[in-house]
Amino acid sequence: MKMLSTLWNRFEEGFIVFLLTAMTLVTFVYVLLNNLYSIFYYFGSLFEFSEGLSNFFYNLGDHVIDMAQAMTWSNALTKALFAWLIFFGIAYGVRIGGHIGVDALVKLARTPVQRTIGLIACLTCLGYAILITIGSFEWISTLMHAQIGADDLGHFGIKQWHIGMIVPFGFAMVLLRYLEILYRIVRQGQVGLGLIDEAADAAKLSATDTGNAS
């Protein structure tokens, strides 16, 4: 079970890296093509004394601008990848305790009180995750029956439900993460919602900076 959990954690991190990389590459290529053609046009005008050389650069510029205009799907794909990054990343945020130290005040209470607050918060998050998972699954079922093509991506065979399916999947993963946290709180393995104490980390970093400054 531990090995399976480790494999999933590695896949989770790798998939997030893949989404970020894909978004960056698509945007980079689109911006590059939209600015590269002007360079070829510049060289075309620079070598007007040679008709063959000038036409060569002008033709290259025309080809590049045609490629840029054909990438009308790039914006839609980037938004779809960003949506996947958000909803896939929610469970990852739960796993690493990415709550920006919102439990700093709770840390001032005694451990039993912290555990009680953590239990209530965990149950609340579980209820929310269940509602969103069920609601989004019904929404995706409707889109699957409608078979509506995604904006600017429909001609590639991509439907709206292909993009939207990340919502129920992402919240199902959130549900599993909070069930894991609930189990640990009940077994007294932890008291809060995260695996990382960001308030303690911030205090430690501040102390380190103060020591270096002195």
Burial state string for 128-147 with b = 16 or more CB within 10 A and e = fewer than 16: ebeebbeebbeebeebeeee
- pLDDT higher than 90, residue 114: no
Report residue 111 as tokens. 């451990």
Q: Which of 76-85, 101-110, 158-167 has the lowest mean pLDDT?
A: 101-110
Q: What percent of the chain has pLDDT over 90?
A: 36
- Terminal C-alpha separation, the chain: 48
pLDDT at residue 98, rounded to an integer:
66
- More confident position, 102 or 150: 150
DSSP string, 54-92: HHHHHHHHHHHHHHHHH-THHHHHHHHHHHHHHHHHHHH
Q: Where are the domains of the chain?
A: 1-71, 101-194
- More confident position, 135 or 71: 135
Q: In whole angstroms, what is the distance from residue 76 CA to residue 81 CA?
A: 9
- Predicted TM-score (pTM) of the model is 0.77
- pLDDT higher than 50, residue 79: yes
Average pLDDT on 80-92 reads: 92
- pLDDT higher than 60, residue 156: yes
